[in-house]
Every structure is written in structure tokens, then in C-alpha cells.
Structure 1
């Protein structure tokens, strides 16, 4: 933990005189020396006051030059500024500055008297020195994490940029290690934040001890740490091997038992490492690569090191190694046949493969990579659809593929070209694709993207508005001049109508009527019970998606279900 800066090195020793010392004596023996900025004055009751050289000389001169004659016999106490707060050498700089600015001084800031622990005067502290120290302290705080004493994000980035700029295109490399503690939340929840802070300080000490020679060791916030190091690689060692070995040193240091912490407050770390050899590389991009590698290590169970590789397309394969798609059919209740499937992004975890990857989505937003992630999903969904067609699945010939667009993706430049290129590269006709716009998308962003959405529509891609009815904003979006082909009713409305809620049933009917007026298709989402299905049917909606018909499933299981559905249709 960093110590707070105090005023001790700023204290200037000065002379002190009793308050009844004649002004003529002060002028003759003190200020005439020319090296005293301020004089401390002590009253009979022990109170301290200050007299500045400038104030004293101005008063002695007087308005017409008679000040010296008038004041010569008066005590210096008559010219003293009393009531100034006294401080001690261990007073924090910020506290002293607040006292100085809070004092009522008619001529601006005043020097503050400084006393020892016993109350005896030691000297003064001048405003100019105090303000400089305050600025230096603020700059230090901006670069230093207050809890651990490590570098802040700003200093990490600056250090990383300097390290990269210092590369010489030879065998020098910059290694970035991104570390995340695996159990900080558990420690905070079970033992309290005091124990969590102790764990963070312990981790910081161990990192500093093992990362000798590193350019910078920093804490980005929470339980995330970064180490930046430069090294030269022998010919026999690859950059990947060197980075993994360095990351393993850091991981092992954090895995060691700290005797100062209780057993339940011990924690290990997931580590991602990335390497750069070019002096013109982007520091933020290198940090993101290490961050992504770290998250892959965490998804793999934690307490391990993962190396960050860049793919030829510029999209880090590490991120997508943790992801896969599941598919949920959309059913025409009149025929019982699937008419479309929605591709759902899911994360591989040790316990379950059906979890929505909220952390990965959040990281994509933070890194400005939502378009990349959405293109990854779109590409794999399209390739799956093409495989089903190539394998001769009859049901796949009529299926459309629904893919979600992140709200942040809507504002990406060249959105239509990017998505159409992805569809074309997968070998699928654009009219087989439905792009779902999230209910989290802002009206302004959707309107700003209207030209890109119109281009997608003109190319044959269908656009759907997802989760309609969850809020008034989604209903307002229906008033916009958007090329929508489909509306999906939010599951909360469907569930309420299924429970007999009159308001939800009416909302369901209103949305169905709006869809009819707009001449767009409508799908009820989240249908889980027969009561909900019957409520949907009463509203005149014939397409459903939900657990009642099909749960999300893997691609092999979906292929089997499609083949079974086709065989059943033929028997009919």
C-alpha cells in the first residue's frame, strides 16, 4: 500500500520572536538580512502567527513613508496574521493544502506554521512549495494504484508503448502477461473485502518479487494485473516458449501459499501472454491479445498459462476457441415443421456448454471487437447451413438462419459490406439469412445505421426486431422507417399471456395487429407451456420458438431432428 505524501520535506526553518518584539528591532535584525521570507510570532498564550517579509516592509513604509516612525515602537504582534492553523511534519500534503485554502487570509494564501509533536514551533511551509507538492502527489496517484502501489492502467500503457518503441527489429521482444486472480470474488463474499484487499496486496508483492527486470508491473483494477518485460531471445528459443515460461514463473509465484493469509483467502491466477517484435505495433492491441488469452486460460479451469496467437484474418483464435454455436428451431405451428433456426452463441466451460458467454461479450464491447465477434458467429452459422444443404437434408432447403447483431455492431463503419462479404464467403444466399436487431439497440443508433440496413435488405438479407414488447422503446422502433421483415415478441409478454394476464394478452394481440399492418412476419419467443402456446394462437401468431417445441441443441442433434421431422412429414 502506498504511503501518503507528507509535508515533512517541505518545512522551512525560520526565526520566531515574541509578539511584543518592537517592529524596529525586527526590521534591523531579521528582515534586513534578506533571506527570511516569513517570521513566526508567538503570543503570550502560546498562539502562533506569521508575518511575511513583504507585508512587514509594506507596513513599515506606510502610505506616505511615515510607517516606520509610526510602527517602530509597536510590537510585531500588531502586524501579525493570527488564527492560521498549525500543522505537524506528518500532515498529509492534501490536508495541509485544504487548511491553507480554507484559511481566511486577505492577501491570498498564507504560510502555515509547523510545530512538532510537543507543540514547539519548527518552521513554516510556503504555499508555492505546498502547491507544487500537491501537483506532484496528484500525478503520482494517477500513476500508482493506491491499494497495491503498482502502476495504474495509464502507466502500464505508457510503459508498454515505450517498451515497444524501443524494439530494434532484432532478437528483442516485448512480452505482456495479463493475470486475473481466480478466487477474489469468493474471498470477498466469504471473508469480506478486507481479506480481498489483503489478497490483492499479497499478489502484488509476489509479482514484484518474481518480475525482476520488468519494465512495469501494474494493476488495471479489480483482480487484473499486467506485467510488461523486454528480453532478447536466444536462437534456440521461440517467442512462444519464452512467453509461456515467463508466464509460468508469474503463475507459480501467485500459486505459492502466503502464510500471512488464511487458507480460504489463498488464490491462484489465470495468465495470458502475448509477444511483440515490431517497434510500430499497437500497445492496446497487444494488451487485448494477452487479455483474451488470459480469459481462455480461465475458461479452461484457471491456474494456467495461455499464449495469444493472431490469426491470418486478424481475429484472435484464442477467444473463439472458448466458443461454439447451438441452434434452436422456429416452428410453424400449422405444419409442425421448422421454418428457421436461430444460432445461439455459447461458451465451453468445465461444467456446462449451454452458458451464454456474457463475459466474452463484455470483453468484445470493451475492446471494440463486437463486429469481429458477430462476423465469427455469422460465418459459422452460414457454413453450418451450407453443410446441411450439401448433405441433402430436405428440411434444410427451406430453412432460414437467424443470427443476432450486437447493439454496438450497428455503428460499425461499412457494416453492410462486412456482413455481406461474410455471407458470400460462406457460400450461402443472402435471402437465407435473418439478422436480429437487439432490443438493447438505441433508436438513434438504428436510425444512424438506416442506410447500412437498407443495403442489407436490398441484397436480400431479412431484418428482424427482437424482444418486441419488453419496453416502450421497442414499440417505438416499429414506427421508424426501417426495412423490417420480421418481429419477435418478447418471452415476458408470452409468459404473461399464458398465465392469463389481461394486459400481456392485449399487448400480444396489439403486436400481432401491428405486424399484420406492416405486413411482416411475427414469431413468439420463449414458448414453454401449452397455455402459452394457446395464448399465442389466440393472438393469431402461428410461429413459435421455445422449450415447448425444441430446446437449443448442438449441430449433430439438430441434423438428426431435421431428418426426423422430414421423415414424419413424408409419412403424413
Structure 2
């Protein structure tokens, strides 16, 4: 391989494509017709062709992983004669799977070829680029000085951000770049590549379409993430996950009409771990699928127990699901099996998906959600109002419940803007025939304002924190809050009517514009 690399350095540019070196092309690499050269010369041509094929990726023409690793090892072994450092850049397309899913793998290959061509146009004569697999390209910049490595990464980002025309269609695919640098003799090739990959992961985590340089803080964070992933796998084996339930209260009388199932992790060392610390890791590594399956089954079993203990008492349960769960081929079949096994009415189950996921849902996700809706279960959009939802997209989604994000509830009575947003969401939901649940209610004043504004159901610490299943039973037979007086309740309905009609006029105009089905509009 060292001899091959030497030949490549001296006789061919790393960036040339396979097509340029096919038989009949210019240069010494074409195969001469039989009989016109000696047998030795023909063998030389065959060997040269085989060496080129072995050294280059057949789709992009970039060098193979093995050659880049060999070159990187050689650069790290050289003497540090100046202040130049060795830079490794990991380049990865953002959401490339969507290109394959929507346009097909043939178009995806065209995007990858164009990606390689643009990266090659950015690198210098001493740099090399290699396709490491899929849509991931590694660039070796062996003499980085005065920020040249970061400048190269920015050039690559800019080049890849330009539209690509595939089969007459304009495709915009951004990229993320992670970069790691060191002086010769300080780190191994494996370590430098691992650090660049870590920086790439951080770039994705911070919103994509950006460059991130590796540092010690990233190293600590990644070590923690790897430990969490390892602990999550052990937690699944040892049944360390459990479910708590937060009541959802009908505001007009304080009765519990539903509960939200919330997964918890009882870590043997750290105690109960907050979901925000392990759910993102579980999403990334795919463990959210078995965790979600376990939570869904446990939640439905628990609902069945409550309903058997109080026959005729209506109660619903909402369970969070991730897009990775939904796109699992067996998800819908498993859902039907769980409903059949537990015997609960599908109309008692509501699956929650965040607004960001719902608004960017692929056709496959929407198809499965429509199946869930046809089964009789409900779909809720969680954290509604925190993203830039399209009204036409909202109209087309199979969601019947909007959960108003707690950030807006916090500002009720103190932030006029939040009050206006909550009122508008309520009016929008009413006009489109959707239910609403307000999250994060922490005070009586907030509950009273929501009641006056026409919100029907709410949840939050004011009513109850998430609790163990055995503590829900007693709550089902009593009111968790009471409006102060019948007069106040009557006043609330009157005030809500006036406010709603004003918002309804505005919302109706929007819905007319997008053609949303509204049913009967509000009267004068």
C-alpha cells in the first residue's frame, strides 16, 4: 500500500474520478489494444487500472479510507519542523436520508457525486479527501496554519449550501463539519479522527449547517454521553425504567379526565435521572424504540387497571412517542397488539408528538399517524406554539389535540403577549375543531385565566406533580380544584365569549384563506 500511495502522489491527482481513467482516456492508464504493445506493457496497464480502482471510491472518485489513514499516519509521524498543525475535517450532509426517501437512491448518488466534486474544488494541492462511508467525507489538511483549517471548513460549508439540480429539480442540502487539529507526534490517527467525529456530532447537535472545532469540553461531554448510553442499555436489561402519571384536569369542575404517562429512570448510582438527560441520548442511539415500547405497554396496562377498578368512569391517557418509534415497521402492529392485550378502548389513548416533529413529518410518519387515527386513537401535538407551524400543514396533519406549551402559560397575567398567544391558540383550535390541553399550570390564577379564556383541560404542579400509579386512584373520585364561585364561573363564560369572537374573526379569515374545514363559524 505504501508503494501504491507513492505512485498516487507522483502520477495522479487524488481528486480525479474513475471515469477520467477508464480505458481509452488520455494518459498512460488506458488499456492498449491487444497486439499493439508487448505483453509486459499490457500488464502494466492492467495493474495501473486495478491500482486506481482499489484506491478510489467508485461513486465519487475520492480516495478510499485506507489510503487516507495511511497518509494521515505518515503526516503524524513526521517531525514538527514548524508551527503547522495537522487538521482532519469530518463532513456530513444534513438530513441526507430525506433526499433518498423523497427522490430515490439514484438521485441520492448524484448528490453525493456533486458533494465530492465541490469538496475537491475547495481543497488545496496538499490536501486529500476520502469517502468514509454513506454521506460522510473526511478531508486531511496536513499543514494548517493561521486558521487555514477552519477557513477550509467554512469554504466547504459555503460550497455545499448552494442548490444542486437533480433531474431538473432544485435540491438544497446543507452540511455539518467537525474539525480536530494537533501537531505531529502528539496523537494517533484513530484519536484525531475520533475527535473530529466528536466535533461533527456537536455541530449536528447545535443545529446543523455549521463548523465545530474539537476541544476538551466536547471530550468530556462525549464521554458522559457514551456512559449514559452504556447505562441505558443496562437499564433496559435490569428494568430500571418506571412510569409516573400527571393528572389532566377539566377546569370547569376540577375532575381528572386523563393522565400523561412520563418515563423515569432510577439509576443505581445517580438516583432518578431527569428525562432531559437521557431521552436525547436514547433518541440518537435508537434505544428510544425499546424504551418507548415498554412505556406504552405499561401505560396501557395501568389504564386498564384503573378502568376495571372504576367501571364506567371515563379516563384517557397520553403517551409520548418519538419519530423513530413511529417509523419502525412493527410499530402499528405492536400498538394494535397492546390495545388488544390490555382491552382498553383506542379512543382512551392519545399519542403525543412534538410540534417540530409533526411539522417536519415525512410521508411515512404521516401515513402511520393516519393509521393510528383510523384505529380510533388520538394524536396530540406537544409543545404547541414553540415552532413556526404552517396553518396549511396543521390542517393536513391527523392531530386532534393541541397541547399549549408551558412557556406561554408562565406569562399569563404578567405578559400580555403570552396571554394573546394562548387566546389565539384556543381560538384556532376551536375553529379547526381540535381539543386543547394547557401544560405547566402552577397557580390558581393561571387556572382561572385559562378557564375564562375557554380552555377545557389543563395539567401542572398546581393540580399535581407526576406521581406513582397508586396515587392516581384516589384522585379519580374527587375534584383537584374548584372555581371560586358560580358567579365567577358565569362571568368567565361571558368574558370568554366576547374575547373569543374577536379572535375567531381573525382566525376564520386565515382558515378561509388556506381552505381549512371549520364546521360552523362563530356567531355574532
User: More helix per residue: 1 or 2?
Assistant: 2
Task: Select the structure of larger CA radius of gyration.
Answer: 1
